[in-house]
C-alpha cells in the first residue's frame, strides 16, 4: 500500500489543478457577463424565452426557454420500434 501513495498524491494534485482552472474560467466568464451592457430602457421587460435581438440565419441563441428544452411536435417524431 505505501507504494501507491505517489499515485494518490498525483491524482489529488491533478484534481486540484483542474478545479482551479475551472474556477478561474467561471470567474472570467462571470466578469464577461457583468461587463455586457444592459438593454435599452425603452425595450420593455425581458421574459425567459423571449427573443430580444434578431438572430442571423443559422445562429443559435443561448437563452433558455421556460420549459428548459424545446420539444418537437409529436407528429415529427419517429415511433419507437
* 15 is a domain residue: yes
User: C-alpha cell of 60?
Assistant: 443559435
> Which residues in 10-45 are b (16+ Cβ under 10 Å) and which e?
eeeeeeeeeeeeeeeeeeeeeeeeeeeeeeeeeeee
Over residues 18-31, mean pLDDT:
96
Instruction: Give the number of domains in the chain.
Output: 1
* 18 is a domain residue: yes
Task: Return the percentage of the chain with pLDDT > 70, whole number.
Answer: 54
* 61 is a domain residue: no
How far is the CA of 43 from the CAs of 33, 46, 51, 62, 65, in angstroms?
A: 20, 8, 11, 19, 19
* 6 is a domain residue: yes
* 50 is a domain residue: no
Over residues 35-47, mean pLDDT:
61
20 compared with 36, residue with greater pLDDT: 20
Amino acid at each position: 500500500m505505501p507504494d501507491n501513495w505517489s499515485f494518490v498524491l498525483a491524482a489529488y494534485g491533478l484534481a486540484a489543478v483542474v478545479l482551479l482552472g475551472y474556477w478561474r474560467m467561471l470567474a472570467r466568464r462571470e466578469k464577461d457577463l457583468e461587463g455586457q451592457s444592459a438593454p435599452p430602457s425603452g425595450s420593455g421587460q425581458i421574459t425567459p424565452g423571449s427573443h430580444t435581438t434578431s438572430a442571423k440565419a443559422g445562429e443559435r441563441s443561448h437563452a433558455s426557454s421556460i420549459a428548459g428544452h424545446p420539444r418537437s411536435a409529436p407528429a415529427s417524431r419517429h415511433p419507437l420500434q
